[in-house]
Copies of this chain bind each other. A is one copy, B any other.
Amino acid sequence: MVAQALDELIAALPDGMVVTDPAITEGYRQDRAVDPAAGKPLAVVRPRRTEEVQAVLRWASRHGVPVVPRGAGTGLSGGATALDDGIVLSTEKMRDITVDPVTRTAVCQPGLLNAEVKQAVAEHGLWYPPDPSSFEICSIGGNIATNAGGLCCVKYGVTTDYVLGLQVVLADGTAVRLGGPRLKDVAGLSLTKLFVGSEGTLGVVTEVTLRLLPAQHTSSVVVATFDSVRAAADAVLGVTSRIRPAMLEFMDAAAINAVEDHFRMGLDREAAAMVLGGSDERGRAGAEDAELMAAVFTEHGAKEVFSTDDPDESEAFVAARRFCIPAVEATGSLLLEDVGVPLPALAELITGIERIAADRDLTISVIAHAGDGNTHPLIVYDPADAAMTQRAELAFGEIMELAVALGGTITGEHGVGRLKRPWLAGQIGPDALALNQRIKAALDPAGILNPGAAF
């Protein structure tokens, strides 16, 4: 029966668009969360056009086949984990973009990488701000699915703030246009915003209209090291309560050392924490911000403070921060967390994670988009060591429970996916969860879109 149904799909789409060769489909079973529960999909479909996505979903609806939408496969929560007897719908070949400098918008398909969008708009002197650390390898469609964040979000907001319009294909194959190139538009419910962050559970995005900004001004960067995590976290609050930095990042000792192992930048290996602040205010205002940040860091007992407005030197520090995850990953396998708290609880979150690490006899390196309270604890473990793996998994849950207890979130920017689903109700509560499910049921009554993900 299933084989027959699949023949129907193959016949409905251009030659080669439906891939069943296991040597290829194997690479689409997991995203970077490497979910061990990933299934074996019937096929991977790689459409180029909205009409083809419609054909896939009409077919899937008719046969009750689950569809897992997939961007570049860089997700960290298992939001693109393949299912047995399901389809993986990869948007990787949907790569058109047109940029309109007059309206400062771009219309693009979901398969472009974030970096490719940045590059295409930069050619018109424009800037697409959201900058996940993975921006060179993650797709804009995946960014929309998770409402991705990044480093500049502390000043410039997250993906949803730049999405003016979408074309989405619903579970039944209907293609709907939502919003468009209008900076203000309140006609009907804010459905564009509902689809951003919906992790492929409500529809498949086939086109997005992005809002762009004029090119970013060069940044002044201030780097400071601290003897304690608490002093660093307090310094972060000292900055955010006075100015609006364009970047405010945190690295703990393990991250500093892992980065120093790779880059030999002369970072202080003895420091407990490092904070990187940036300002992109124009002219003298950027220098004023940098001076203020340096003064705040010193006030909070910084061991060393270093400021630069040299673009290459600034970029080197930002690159070092972006490289934290691969650098720590070189020391072992990672369970990658993404918890966030209201800013005043940041120190308590980080010190609480240190306690969990000690209790579970694990290394947990904490890096953070500190200015918006979003941390990435990196739990290092050896998958060959069953006991350690189990301790890592326990710590993974305990960190989320700690964040929720501090008024925080189990995921700031990576999404719930499959890995964090058991903790969602603990954060948002049964009534909000029921509300999520009512909307899901209204839009995808048969539950074929990414079943088991998010909620």
Interface residues of A (CB under 8 A from B): 101-105, 146-147, 149, 153-154, 157-158, 160-161, 170, 174-178, 180-191, 193-194, 196-198, 201-202, 213-214, 237, 240-244, 281-285, 288, 340-344, 369, 372-374, 407-416, 420, 424, 427-429, 431-433, 435-436, 438-443, 454-455
Q: Tell me, in angstroms, the Cα distance from A190 to B199 when the chains sit together.
A: 11
A412 — which chain B residues lie within 8 A by C-beta? Answer: 182, 184-186
A373 touches B184 (CB 8 A): yes
A105 — which chain B residues lie within 8 A by C-beta? Answer: 342
21 residue pairs of the A-B complex, CB under 8 angstroms, read A102-B240, A103-B342, A103-B344, A104-B241, A153-B183, A178-B428, A182-B373, A184-B372, A184-B413, A185-B340, A186-B413, A187-B410, A188-B424, A188-B432, A190-B196, A190-B197, A190-B198, A282-B284, A435-B443, A438-B443, A441-B442
Q: Which of B153, B240, B429 contacts A104 (CB 8 A)?
A: B240
Q: Tell me, in angstroms, the Cα distance from A408 to B105 when the chains sit together.
A: 15
Q: Which of B176, B197, B240, B409 contacts A435 (CB 8 A)?
A: B176
Give the shortest distance, in Å, between A105 (CB) and chain B (any CB). 8
Q: Tell me, in angstroms, the Cα distance from A411 to B187 when the chains sit together.
A: 6
Give the shortest distance, in Å, between A368 (CB) and chain B (any CB). 11
Closest 4 CB pairs of A and B: A193-B193, A442-B442, A183-B372, A184-B412
Give the shortest distance, in Å, between A127 (CB) and chain B (any CB). 11
Q: Which of B153, B178, B241, B242 contacts A184 (CB 8 A)?
A: B153
B170 touches A161 (CB 8 A): no
Asked, given contacts A184-B369, A435-B170, whether A157 binds B149 with beta carbons under 8 Å apart, the answer is: no
A183 touches B435 (CB 8 A): no
Q: Tell me, in angstroms, the Cα distance from A427 to B281 when the chains sit together.
A: 39
Q: Tell me, in angstroms, the Cα distance from A351 to B286 when the chains sit together.
A: 42
Give the shortest distance, in Å, between A74 (CB) and chain B (any CB). 15
B182 touches A408 (CB 8 A): yes
Q: Tell me, in angstroms, the Cα distance from A104 to B371 when the chains sit together.
A: 12
B184 touches A149 (CB 8 A): yes
A184 — which chain B residues lie within 8 A by C-beta? Answer: 149, 153, 158, 340, 369, 372-374, 409, 412-413
Q: Tell me, in angstroms, the Cα distance from A413 to B340 when the chains sit together.
A: 32
Q: Tell me, in angstroms, the Cα distance from A440 to B428 when the chains sit together.
A: 21
A190 touches B160 (CB 8 A): yes
A443 — which chain B residues lie within 8 A by C-beta? Answer: 435, 438-439
Q: Which of B149, B174, B185, B416 contacts A188 (CB 8 A)?
A: B416
A241 touches B101 (CB 8 A): yes
Q: Tell me, in angstroms, the Cα distance from A454 to B181 when the chains sit together.
A: 21
Q: Tell me, in angstroms, the Cα distance from A340 to B194 when the chains sit together.
A: 22
Q: Tell me, in angstroms, the Cα distance from A440 to B414 when the chains sit together.
A: 29
Q: Tell me, in angstroms, the Cα distance from A440 to B438 when the chains sit together.
A: 10
Q: Tell me, in angstroms, the Cα distance from A318 to B255 when the chains sit together.
A: 50
Most B C-beta atoms less than 10 A away, residue of A190, A413, A427: A190
A411 touches B186 (CB 8 A): yes
B237 touches A191 (CB 8 A): no
Q: Tell me, in angstroms, the Cα distance from A243 to B157 when the chains sit together.
A: 19
Most B C-beta atoms less than 10 A away, residue of A154, A181, A189, A283: A189
Of all chain B residues, the one with the shortest Cβ separation from A420 is B187
Most B C-beta atoms less than 10 A away, residue of A184, A201, A240: A184
B190 touches A102 (CB 8 A): no
Q: Tell me, in angstroms, the Cα distance from A428 to B18 when the chains sit together.
A: 33
Q: Tell me, in angstroms, the Cα distance from A432 to B176 when the chains sit together.
A: 6
Asked, given contacts A431-B174, A439-B442, whether A186 binds B414 with beta carbons under 8 Å apart, the answer is: yes
Q: Tell me, in angstroms, the Cα distance from A299 to B157 when the chains sit together.
A: 34
Q: Which of B241, B427, B432 contacts A102 (CB 8 A)?
A: B241
B424 touches A181 (CB 8 A): no
Q: Tell me, in angstroms, the Cα distance from A407 to B185 when the chains sit together.
A: 11
Q: Which of B186, B191, B242 contacts A415 (CB 8 A)?
A: B186
